[in-house]
Amino acid sequence: MALDFDRSILGTEFDHSVHPAVRQTDIDAYAATVGETVAAPGLAPPTYVVSLRTRHFLPPNMPNLGQVGFDAGKDIDFGVPIRVGDTLTSSSTIHDIYEKTGRSGSMRFIVLRTVVTNQRSEQVAVIDQKMMFR
Amino acid sequence: MTGLFEHIDVGHELQPLRLTLSSEQVRAYAQAANMPGGRFFSDEAARQEGLPGQIVPGNMSMALFSRLLAESLPGMSIKHLSATFRAPVRPGQPIVVHGVVIEKHCTDRGDLVECDLVVENADGERWVTGTATVQLAAGPTATAREP
C-alpha cells in the first residue's frame, strides 16, 4: 500500500480536552500500582500524565494505514510537575506519518503529539506517541 | 560541598528492579491509568485481539523506568523519558528493569545525566528499551543506591 495522504492534516488539532482537577486519590491509586513513591506530598509521579483520557484517541480523519495498530513507543518531555488540584488541558495533533520497510515487510507509523498544560498555562509535558500499522 | 553528580560516573549501573507483575497488578494499572483496552484486562480479551494473552501496557513499562530512576537516583527529576516497545511484556513472567548512566553534563539548566534503560526477561531478551535525561538533586544529602 503506497503511503498517500493529505499532508495538511499534519499539525492540525484533533482533540482538545480539559480534564477534571487532579485528586490525591487518583495519584495514590496510580503510584501504588507500580510501587512508585511520590517525591513530595501533593506531587504526582512524572508518568501520571499518561493517565489523562482524551476524548479522541485517534483523529477522525486519519488516513488508512493498515488494519492492526500497535503502540510502538513513546517520548515524553516533562515540564512543571503535576500537583493535586491542577486542572490540566491537553491538545493533540498528528505530528508525523511515515513508512519504513524492514525484514518483516512494510510498516507505517503515525506520531500523535499531545501537549499538556496546567491552569497557569505552564507546560506540563509534550508526549509523542508512535503507533505502528501493518 | 559535593552532590550526587560528582559521585556518579559514566557506566554507573542503576539498582535493578527484579519483579514479576501479576495479572491483577496489570489490571489495576490499566484502570488507574485510564487505559480501557481489553488486552490489558484478561487473556480472553487479548486473544480476541490476536495477542497471545494479557499484556502489560507500554505506559506501565515507562512507569517502571520512572520508579527505577527514582529509587536509584534519589531526589532527581526526569526531564525526558522515551521508550520503544519491542515486544509485548506479559504478566506472570519475571522481568528485570535496569539502566546505566551513559553521559553526564553540567549545564545552565543544572547537572544532567543521560541513562539507557531496559526491561528484559530472564533470558536477557530486551522487550522495552528507553532513554532518560534526569536532573540530579544538588547538595550533599542525595546518595546513589548501589546495585
CATH number of the domain within which B119 lies: 3.10.129.10
B67–chain A Cβ distance below 8 A for any pair: yes
The interface predicted TM-score (ipTM) is 0.91
pLDDT of residue A58: 81
A31 CA: distance to closest CA in chain B (Å): 9
Chain B positions touching A34 (Cβ under 8 A) are 29, 60, 63-64, 66-67
pLDDT at B146 over 60: no
Architecture of the domain whose range is A7-133: Roll (3.10)
pLDDT at A36: 83
**Where residue B32 falls among pLDDT bands split at 50, 70, 90?**
very high
Asked if residue B145 is part of any domain, the answer here is: no
pLDDT in tens, A3-21: 778 888 899 899 999 999 9
| B7-30 pLDDT, tens digit each | 899 999 999 999 999 999 999 999
Q: What span, in angstroms and rounded, lies between the C-alpha atoms of A35 and A38?
A: 10
- Give residue ranges of A with CB < 8 Å to any B CB: 26, 29-30, 32-37, 39, 45-47, 50-53, 68, 70-78, 81
Q: What is the pLDDT of residue A68?
A: 67
Q: Which of residues 26-45 of B touch A (CB under 8 A)?
A: 28-29, 32-34
User: pLDDT below 50 — which residues of chain A?
Assistant: none
Quote the domain boundaries for residue B101: 4-135
Query: Domain for residue B142, yes or no?
Result: no
* Three-state DSSP string of B79-108: EEEEEEECCCCCCCCEEEEEEEEEEEEEEC
Q: Between B59, B79, B80, which is nearest A50 by CB? A: B59
Q: 3-state SS string over A7-27?
A: HHHECCEEEEEECCCCCHHHH
- Residue B83: all three cell numbers together: 521508550
Mean pLDDT for chain B?
Answer: 91
How many structural domains is chain B composed of?
A: 1
pLDDT per residue as tens digits for the range B58-93: 999 999 999 999 999 998 999 999 999 999 999 999
Mean pLDDT of B34-47: 93
Rounded to whole angstroms, how far apart are CA atoms B66 and B60?
A: 10
Distance, CA of A57 to chain centre = 8
B141 domain-assigned: no
pLDDT band with cut points at 50, 70 and 90 for residue B141: very low
